[in-house]
Chains A and B, each alone.
Chain A
Amino acid sequence: MTINRRGLLGAGAALGLLSACGSNSGRDDGGSGDGPKLSQWYHQYGEQGTEQAVKKYAAAYKKANVTVQWRPGNYDEQTAAALLTDSGPDVFEVNGPSLDQIQGKQVADLTELFEGVKDDFNPAVLAPKTYAGKIWGIPQVIDMQMLYYRKSLLADAGVRPPKTLDELVDAAKKLTSQKTKGLFLGNDGGAGVLGGTPLYAAGLELVTAEGEVGFDDPAAARTLGKIHQLYADKSLLLGAPADWSDPSAFVQGLTAMQWSGLWALPTVQKELGDDFGVLPFPKDGAAGKPSVPVGAYAAAVSTRSKHQKAGKDFLKWLWIDSTDRQEDFALSYGFHIPARVSLAKKAEKLRKGAAADAVRYTTDHGQAEPLLWTPASRSAYQDALSRIIKDGASPDEELKKVVRKVSAELGRVKKKS
């Protein structure tokens, strides 16, 4: 047979097509143990050693062959897409699970795993994992956010640590100078990170226990107007190279106060020593109370998994029975509060200084976003908050629009159940 040019090209193209279809599923690291193969997904934690730790936990489990996938990038989008297919994870970490994931039957019911230990989980973070009386995810660790302030800068300006929102507005204005801004709420002026926190501080809530809009109240507009005041006073740091979740702006002295997460505490402590303190979001109005947002990544089981039972057993072993590993995960790498009340009380690192304050705020003032607060509601509210803060839009009118949209969204999700 002679090989002509056309035949050669054709064969080459066919070969190329075949080899391009080859796949590398990349699922062969860190696995051990007998029994069914389970794939477990985590989002990428910034702290050193976390990846090794979770791989170590997986390797220690003997009843299944668990392989860990560490996934950098847009984790929420990745898992959402993967859960639509059969090649997704068996067990996975999720910043949720969201109401639509639960209603869409994408995650398995884990209620039975909590037998006897349910009361040991922090109720504030367990509530958003609960729907229709069943629990859909095991809270891993608690993250919370709070206000960091620089003691020396406040003392120089003759400002007391603010106890009310009005005091915060005044303090931020007084602390603003040519080189330093008073307060950093993120580069977007706070619309993203604050979310419902100011509403809770005004004694309101996002969604009531009855599943209605919880901020259809003139107090909401009044409080959000004060956040605009911060912006209008030019007290807010904007356009910093690193956003609110990173304490750089605070430790570099670009701002005297910054809203950030508990995870930033070790860095701040290392850089500033004793020259800082932490506060909850200050209360506003007569009915107000201080507020800190709390949240927890949860471990969930995909209903697409072929080994749901094995997946549940593994999660029970790791996130319910192995308290030593839970403590290690919460405190040895980053800085989080264990989701188990008994562990949080025991932890040495959380007993003194700012860390102890943070734990106290979490217990006394912690507010988690309710499960019924869906992404559609959140983005409608966040858009309105941004317009109120930056454009000086009328809080009354903006909130009226949000209340309408959120009511419609709450109606949609209630209809489904």
Chain B
Amino acid sequence: MTTAAPREQQASGRRKVWGHQNRTLWFWVFVGPFLLGLGVFTYIPLGWSVYLSFFDAHNTVTPDDFVGFGNYTAMLRNEAFTDSLWTFLVFSLFIVPATYALSLALALMVHRQRRAQAFFRSVFFLPAACSYVVAALIWKMSIFNGVRFGLANTVLDWFGADQIAWLSTTDPPWYWAVIVTVRLWLQAGFYMVLFLAGLQRISPTLYEAAAVDGARPGWQVFRHITFPQLKATSVAVVLLLVINAFQAFDEFYNLLSDSRGYPPYARPPLVYLYYTALGQGQNLGLGSAGAVLLALIIAVVTVGQAKWFGLGKKEAE
């Protein structure tokens, strides 16, 4: 009896540490590595970046020259940075609705298609499998190059128009045509598939009921049945599109950069910060300050968007 009590206590103590059926142990075995990875590769760099943003950190990640909010005021007064935020805003305001409309239109057309639906679905979806870098290089070097044998200029030539240096012309800003089309081509198919899935979930009885009630097929049915029924899909698509727009880097960098840097137009914040912090400048303090500002903006926009769409609320509410 005298020895049984401590043993029991020991067992219950171990249960306290490891949990029932060692559940706590297994929790850490499975979650631990990912938590560790998240910490090492995401949160430590994030924290470090905030730390660096308060220092004059040229070519060093262990700076000792504290400058307070100096980097932040410098960044906010820096026209190149504020310009890049505008660039980005204009880009998102255009690309989000444009991709939304195009992919919805594609989905509606493919959905109505009775024959060869799988074929059209794959054809429109295929570009999503292409990398941004590859697509950007094709756009830059073969379709929209500035010389007479580029595809776009060949077409212009048929109509007797002058050749255009697409990526180098700032007035009118033809480079936007290149940037926007490459992203539309790459993205539209993917969101079309999301919309198709949404369309297939709409119950046919709704359409039958609408027909009985005398709704005219076409715009009226779309406006009052299809579009409201796609609300959940639409919210997801818009969220994803905005996130993708925030990440704008690949096609911009590959279309417009050259060995000597990047032109001062169509320069989104990530590209600008890349050159500030990681290019030859190696101004890690200033770059970090810009990154923190950008992160704050993204956080505000995301929270605002979630509120706006009522994301996270229960379906019933």
Q: Which residues of A contact B (CB under 8 A)?
A: 6, 9-10, 13-14, 17, 76-77, 80-81, 83-84, 95-96, 98, 100-101, 103-104, 106, 179, 186-189, 191-193, 195, 237-241, 243, 245, 254, 374-376, 379-380, 382-383, 386-387, 390-392
Contacts and interface: CB of A to CB of B under 8 A. Distances in A.
B26 A6 contact: yes
Which of B167, B260, B263 has the largest number of chain A CB atoms within 10 A? B260
Contacts of B166: 239
Contact of A188 (B80, B144, B260, B281): B260
Contact of B60 (A77, A104, A192, A374): A104
B168 to A, nearest CB: 4
A243 B165 CA distance: 13
A88 B150 CA distance: 43
A403 to B, nearest CB: 15
Contacts of A240: 145-147
A243 B147 CA distance: 12
Interface string B23-60: 00010011001000000000000000000000000111
7 contacts: A101-B59, A106-B59, A187-B167, A188-B260, A240-B145, A379-B261, A390-B171
B259 interface: yes
Which of B60, B144, B150, B264 has the largest number of chain A CB atoms within 10 A? B264
B64 to A, nearest CB: 11
A375 B258 contact: no
Given A379-B275, A383-B264, 20 more contacts: A6-B26, A10-B30, A13-B33, A83-B59, A100-B58, A103-B58, A186-B258, A188-B168, A189-B168, A192-B260, A193-B260, A237-B147, A238-B168, A238-B169, A239-B144, A245-B259, A375-B279, A379-B281, A383-B263, A391-B171
A104 B58 contact: yes
B131 interface: no
Interface string B141-185: 110111110100000000000000111111100000000000000
Contacts of A80: 59, 278, 280, 282
B236 interface: no
Contacts of B144: 239
A325 B263 CA distance: 39
Contact of B148 (A98, A179, A387): A179
Contact of A187 (B58, B168, B280): B168
Contacts of B263: 188, 191, 383, 386, 390
Contact of A76 (B146, B150, B279): B279
B99 interface: no
A25 to B, nearest CB: 20
A240 B168 CA distance: 10
Nearest to A80: B282
A9 to B, nearest CB: 8
Interface in B277-313: 278-283
Contacts of A95: 280
A6 B80 CA distance: 54
Contacts of B211: none
Contacts of B150: 239
B61 interface: yes
Interface of B: 26, 29-30, 33, 58-61, 80, 141-142, 144-148, 150, 165-171, 258-261, 263-265, 275, 278-283
B259 A192 contact: yes
A243 B258 contact: yes
Contact of A104 (B30, B59, B168, B259): B59
Nearest to B153: A239
A189 B280 CA distance: 22
Which of A96, A195, A382 has the largest number of chain B CB atoms within 10 A? A382
Contacts of B275: 379
A14 B283 CA distance: 38
A113 to B, nearest CB: 23
A390 B170 contact: yes
Contacts of A392: 171
A77 B264 CA distance: 20
A342 B120 CA distance: 69
B165 A239 contact: yes
A77 B283 CA distance: 12
Nearest to A245: B259
B131 to A, nearest CB: 17
B28 to A, nearest CB: 10
A254 B283 CA distance: 40
B280 A239 contact: no
The 7 closest A-B pairs by CB, nearest first: A239-B146, A192-B260, A238-B165, A383-B264, A238-B168, A239-B165, A375-B281
A187 B33 contact: no
B256 to A, nearest CB: 9
A374 B141 CA distance: 32
B22 to A, nearest CB: 9
A96 B259 CA distance: 16
B26 A375 contact: no
B290 to A, nearest CB: 13
Contacts of B261: 192, 379, 382
B33 A390 contact: no
B147 A254 contact: yes
B311 to A, nearest CB: 32
A391 B170 contact: yes
A135 to B, nearest CB: 19
Nearest to B58: A100
B168 A390 contact: yes
A284 to B, nearest CB: 22
Contacts of A382: 260-261, 264
A109 to B, nearest CB: 17
A278 B18 CA distance: 79
A37 B282 CA distance: 28
Contacts of A17: 33
A84 B61 contact: yes
Contacts of B61: 84
Which of A106, A179, A375 has the largest number of chain B CB atoms within 10 A? A375
A177 to B, nearest CB: 11
Given A188-B168, A192-B258, A386 B264 contact: yes
Contacts of B147: 237, 239-241, 254
Contacts of A9: 30
B146 A98 contact: no
Contacts of B60: 84, 104
